[in-house]
Amino acid sequence: MLLKISFIHLQGGIMMPAGINLTRKQIGFISIAIALFILFTKAVVVIPAGHVGVMTLFGKVYEQSLREGINVINPLVKVHKMSIRTEQITEDATVPSKEGLTVGVDFSVLFSLDPVKAPEVYRTVGPNYVSIIVTPQIRSVIRGVTAEYEAKALYTAEREIVTEKMFTQLQPMIEQRGIRIEKVLIRAVKLPPILSTAIEKKLEAEQQAQQMQFVLQRESQEAERKRIEAKGISDFNSIASQGLSESILKLRGIEATQALSKSDNTKVVIIGSGKEGLPIILGQQ
């Protein structure tokens, strides 16, 4: 079954289905409504979260960008949406070290577009600013910094110092172009097997030397402690021998005899019959 619809040609070039009679006023109203709808869709722009809208009109870039949400603009303006979220560049590069060795470095750089400078970035560089500005600058800085350090620095705890220097050099170079650098990370270092083994052995030897130094220092401190202790005992004996005269010893003996005489044990005390005139104590429990 075929449905046949006939159209009639109205004045002004408008085609209408046969059987529908519209006045000129109605046709004009419909045309205006359609035009307004198209105009509305062109004038309202929604910028998603984490983006800004860069506006251009006949090739001219507006200095102010559109923020997230609904924006009403000139229908003739074109809007280019650019992300301002944190992005990551990850690369596996081959870089030189201070000794002239070739080292493989797996690094990441976190960055984001400055929303205020987004129109300037679009005007001077374009939407492909990552491949034009960010990546080449990162590669250049990383190669330059690693050439100032030995391969061991990339392999040991000095890595933090290296990444901090990379960040310090990279930040002003990139930020003046409207891009923020947030973090530089060295995720992995690939050394030649022979060099890696040599570094590990050297680090092990250094750790053993540090451990031996600690043991020697501890033994030295212990010897010093014993020397001080022995000197203290010697000084005490010297003072004690000088202070214990014969009369004092006799006095201590009498005091001891008095203490024993007060004991409940059966005893016989003979006064003055012992050596040096000290009492003799005879008794049993």
Q: Which of 14-23, 136-145, 239-248 has the highest mean pLDDT?
A: 136-145
Q: What count of other Cβ atoms lies within 10 Å of the Cβ of residue 281? A: 16
Distance CA 58, CA 60 (A): 6
Fold assignment, 87-191:
Tetrahydropterin Synthase; Chain A (3.30.479)
Asked whether residue 250 carries a pLDDT value surpassing 80, the answer given is no
Kindly list the domain boundaries of the chain, sorted by start residue: 14-83, 87-191, 201-243, 248-284
How much is the mean pLDDT over the chain?
A: 77
Which whole number is the average pLDDT over 177-191? 87
How confident is the model at residue 109, as a pLDDT?
Answer: 92
Residue range 93-116: mean pLDDT, rounded: 86
pLDDT of residue 6 exceeding 80, the answer is no
Q: Do residues 10 and 27 lie in contact, with contact meaning Cβ atoms separated by under 8 Å?
A: yes
Q: What is the largest CA-CA distance in the chain?
A: 160
Residue 99 is encoded by which pair of tokens?
């000794």
Higher pLDDT, 42 or 131: 131
What's the confidence (pLDDT) of residue 111? 93
Q: What pLDDT shows up at residue 3? A: 44
More confident residue, 93 or 81: 81
pLDDT over 50 at 30, yes or no: yes
| 40 vs 82, higher pLDDT | 82
Instruction: Find out whether 95 and 141 touch, Cβ atoms under 8 Å.
Output: no
User: Counting Cβ atoms within 10 Å, is residue 226 exposed (0-12), middle (13-18) or buried (19+)?
Assistant: exposed
Contacts of 119 (CB under 8 A, 6+ apart): 54, 55, 61, 62, 63, 64, 65
Q: What would the mean pLDDT of 217-245 be, rounded to a whole number?
A: 75
Please give the full DSSP string across 149-194, using - where no structure is assigned.
Answer: S-HHHHHSTTHHHHHHHHHHHHHHHHHTTTEEEEEEEEEEEE--HH
Task: Please state the pTM of the whole predicted model.
Answer: 0.56
More confident residue, 7 or 222: 222
